[in-house]
Amino acid sequence: MSNSTKNAITLFYSYSHKDEEIRNELDKHLSILKRQGVISEWYDRKISGGTEWESEIDQQLQSASIILLLISSDFLASDYCYGKELKIAMERHESGQARVIPIIIRSVDWNQAPFGKLQALPKDAKPVKSWNDVDEAFTNIAQGIRTAIDEIKVRPVAKETTTDISALVKKFKLRPKKYAGTEIIADIKLKDKLEAISTHEADSFNLSLGDAIFRIFTFTNPDIKNIEKIYA
């Protein structure tokens, strides 16, 4: 994996399948961002056969840095988009874990929705379908997304230290990528056990809880009897 790909901002599309044609068109307008390694996008059509689709969507939604809401009457009418994806998206936005950007693609009464307080794209929240030149609308959206990415990249990542991470471990096992933005260091023992270390030592390193748990599952060797401390 190249450094540019590794440093890409993850982008999640939340949309109704009835708006898939518009999503595909927007994705083409974001091609330059993908080619430059600025973004790595995900949407539900990337789910492979035999995968538990709801778990995969949840995992991708929990790990995305930018969440695009493609707003239309079909989005607002969708129990899954509005009832589940939107709820998680707004929780992550309000906690500072992700940036939610509403994209108004078709005219609909959306101002009183939970995302109504957020700055929408394209310019003046004019629906894409209302523009005389839709390419101009998509260009404006792409420029707005690039600006948001630039702001995210310069924003400092909040650090968190704790003396008891058992609750976080339990949550992590249910949602593997949700806590990847929480910087923490821990002693790693066999059989998936974690033990928090001193606040001073935690402040000296940058290690996400997601990375810590991942290393337990990947590197724990049942033949090794000693305690192994991992910094990464």
CA 38 to chain centre: 14
CA–CA gap between residue 36 and residue 56 (Å, rounded): 26
Residue 204 confidence (pLDDT): 53
Look at the alpha carbons of 95, 216, 37, 28 in this order and tell me if their dihedral is positive or negative. Answer: negative
pLDDT by residue for the chain (232 residues), tens only, comes to: 444 456 788 999 999 999 999 999 999 999 999 999 999 998 888 888 887 888 888 888 998 999 999 999 999 999 999 999 999 999 999 988 899 999 999 999 999 999 999 999 999 999 999 999 999 999 999 999 999 999 887 664 444 444 455 555 555 555 544 444 444 444 434 344 444 444 455 455 555 444 444 444 443 444 444 444 443 3
User: Reduced to 3 states, what is the DSSP secondary structure of residue 100?
Assistant: strand
pTM tops 0.75, yes or no: no
Residues paired with residue 63 on neighbouring β-strands, in sequence order: none
- Which is it for strands 99-104 and 66-71: parallel, antiparallel or unpaired? parallel
Could you count the other beta carbons within 10 Å of the beta carbon of residue 130?
13
Residue 170 confidence (pLDDT): 56
Residue 171 confidence (pLDDT): 54
- Which is it for strands 39-42 and 99-104: parallel, antiparallel or unpaired? unpaired
User: What is the set of domains in the chain, with CATH numbers?
Assistant: 3-154 (3.40.50.10140), 166-229 (no CATH)
Residues paired with residue 103 on neighbouring β-strands, in sequence order: 70, 121
